[in-house]
Chain A
Amino acid sequence: MDPIAKNLKQRSLSAKIETKGRLITQLCTVLIVLLVLAIFGFIATKGLTLFFHDHGSLWSFFSGTTWSPDKVDSHRQPVIGALPMIVGSFTVTLLAVLVATPFAIAAAIFMTEISPQKGNKILQPVIELLVGIPSVVYGFIGLAVIVPFVQKIAGGSGFGILAGALVLFVMILPTITSMTVDALKAVPRYYREASLALGATRWQTIYKVTLRAGAPGIMTAVIFGMSRAFGEALAVQMVIGNAILMPSSLTSPSTTLTSVLTMNMGNTVMGTTSNDALWTLALLLLLMSLVFNIVIKYLAKRGALS
């Protein structure tokens, strides 16, 4: 056969490499997806055992305030009131986000609008450094500094939601700040120029144009911060006091879903109700992070500049 025709009819080496590459990437993707599905399936089956096998009631899980899964109540149902930790988790998270967001937005405005040069030189490295500090270090500082501080001001032991929220505040501040910076940077330059050309001052431009246009991005940043705060275990566990009690004040010891998990997982035996109850908490955490992700996706879709 004509060598040229032969060459053309055969698959070239580059085409073969191309196929192989595609196969490898597809395989890896499928593997990741399978892994995620497997984790979901595993935690779901484990977490639902409490309700289907151990006869726990869903209602008492979300409304009860007493948590001792190894005991049964008068209806022969396990005592699995998870409300104190659910409330604890949400209060700590919301409080931390509430305190962190103004600081984060202010820092982001400074970095993008007021002094980009100084921002990039000083604030950026500082924020990156903060992201890299392990959570146990934050918890340790919280234990040594924040808890005694709260104790001095409010009395009691110092352990509680306030201490937890203050630690989380520092932890999520860099996350929210850097994402807010990205959101503000994405606001087109001509928005600002148009506003200034209309005679608006810099503050008016920031307040009425840049922040408004960047709002969906900022919301995403806040939700990201929330999801990080919600899932944080170690640092919070060290300062919140770990009492499975409905929080009566910001300085009364309380607990979160994650702290209950880390405190008890080693002490329970696989297959017992206490162990199943912990898996249910894990399932709840997983579902919450799913909710956070869906909200972020929704905001991103809505916020795409049209």
Chain B
Amino acid sequence: MRTFGKLLLLLGVISSLSGCSHANNRQETITAVGSSALQPLIEAGGEKYSQKNPQAYINVQGGGSGTGLAQIQQGAVAIGNSDVFAEQKKGIQAQNLIDHKVCVVAVVPVVNRQVPLNNLSTTQLQAIFMGKITNWQQVGGPRLPITIINRAQGSGTRMIFEQQVMQGQPFKKAPEQDSSGMVRQIVKNTPGAISYVAWPYLTQDLKPLAIDQIKLTTANVAQNRWKIWAYEHLYTTKNPNKLTRQFIKFILSEQFQEQEVRQMHYIPMKQMRYQQDAHGRVSSKE
């Protein structure tokens, strides 16, 4: 029994010691969770911010826009990243959250490099994802079956694509992947594959398509000639802490918007000539 008591005492001492050391070099951490389309930007932002403020650490995790909104609603994280308005997600009480729009992201249809097409019309694209067109031959390509790769339900990228391209038509049931990285990998390796990714995830492995002869460029998105775009949101609760407020301010700063946001193929808010509301209605700013 005596040894047991000693052991307890020892444990107590150890825990109090570690508690002290913890308090001494205390680091402030906030967690941002959600959209994988926005993740690279927030990660880069977090790194930059930590360089300037070494005691602050921004922990960035993916998981999808749905996760971001669900977690911020529960108050489990400081920032919920989302590609969609909170109003568009079932079960989210948008009035309890504050929306910070940080930039715009464009979504682009991509195909396997072996598909020799460079352009599809909106109707063709819609018909392909509805399953009405099943062979590349039907849109002027070679005789090759079309393999659709979709994103998981609740993915923000999918919701953007669904809203702007499908316009209420149902997707064909197709393989689903839960990350942009997996989509990239599969489209790269599967002949005849088509999918869609957020612009920041577009690499040399994939072939982007023009839609109605309009290519994906920053200017085209800003002028709403490229229709598949949406805001990237950072959602916070009504009373975010100081670090959260400062970090969002940093992301919205002129310097960060002009450098990282542009370099990583997001579109700065300032550049947009058009605006979108929570119901997907687009209107000119002028």
Instruction: List chain A positions with a Cβ less than 8 A from chain B.
Output: 68, 70, 143, 147-148, 151, 156-159, 241-245, 253, 262-264, 266-272, 274-275
Contact = CB atoms under 8 A, between A and B. Distances in A.
Query: Size band of the B side of the interface?
Result: 20 to 34
Contacts of B173: 243-245
Nearest to B69: A269
B237 interface: no
Given A157-B175, A241-B175, A244-B173, A264 B74 contact: no
Given A157-B147, A274-B90, A267 B190 contact: no
Interface string B160-195: 000000000000011111100000011001100100
A192 B174 CA distance: 55
B140 interface: no
B153 interface: yes
Given A68-B153, A269-B66, A270-B70, 17 more contacts: A70-B90, A70-B153, A156-B145, A157-B149, A157-B175, A242-B175, A243-B175, A244-B173, A245-B173, A253-B175, A264-B153, A267-B66, A267-B70, A267-B152, A268-B70, A269-B69, A271-B91
Contacts of B186: 157, 159
Interface in B45-101: 63-67, 69-70, 73-74, 89-92
A257 B59 CA distance: 31
A158 B190 CA distance: 8
Interface of B: 63-67, 69-70, 73-74, 89-92, 145, 147, 149, 152-155, 173-178, 185-186, 189-190, 193
Contacts of A241: 175
Contacts of A272: 90-91
24 contacts: A147-B189, A151-B190, A156-B145, A157-B175, A159-B186, A242-B176, A243-B173, A243-B174, A245-B173, A253-B175, A262-B178, A263-B152, A264-B153, A264-B154, A266-B64, A266-B70, A267-B66, A267-B70, A267-B153, A267-B155, A268-B66, A269-B70, A270-B70, A270-B91
Contacts of A274: 90, 153-154
Contacts of A159: 175, 186
Nearest to A253: B175
A243 B148 CA distance: 10
A272 B92 CA distance: 10
Given A157-B193, A263-B178, A268-B70, A242 B152 contact: yes
Contacts of B152: 242, 263-264, 267
A192 to B, nearest CB: 51
B189 A148 contact: yes
Most-contacted residue by chain B among A147, A245, A268, A269 (CB, 10 A): A269
B183 to A, nearest CB: 11
B189 A243 contact: no
A267 B175 contact: no
A269 B147 contact: no
Nearest to B155: A267
Contacts of A253: 174-175
B179 to A, nearest CB: 10
A243 to B, nearest CB: 4
A245 to B, nearest CB: 5
B160 to A, nearest CB: 15
Of B74, B173, B185, B189, the most chain A CB neighbours within 10 A belong to: B173
A156 B152 CA distance: 20
Contacts of B67: 266-267
A269 B90 contact: yes
Contact of B73 (A244, A264, A267, A269): A269
A277 B238 CA distance: 31
Nearest to A69: B153
B155 A242 contact: no
Contacts of A263: 152, 176, 178
Nearest to B34: A266
Contacts of A262: 178
A77 B63 CA distance: 29
A157 B185 CA distance: 12
Contacts of B92: 269
Contacts of B74: 270
A71 B30 CA distance: 35
A264 B153 CA distance: 7
B159 to A, nearest CB: 10
A234 to B, nearest CB: 11
A253 B177 CA distance: 12
A238 to B, nearest CB: 8
Contacts of B153: 68, 70, 264, 267, 274
Nearest to A143: B185
A156 B189 CA distance: 11
A241 B175 CA distance: 5
Contacts of B154: 264, 266-268, 274
A33 to B, nearest CB: 26
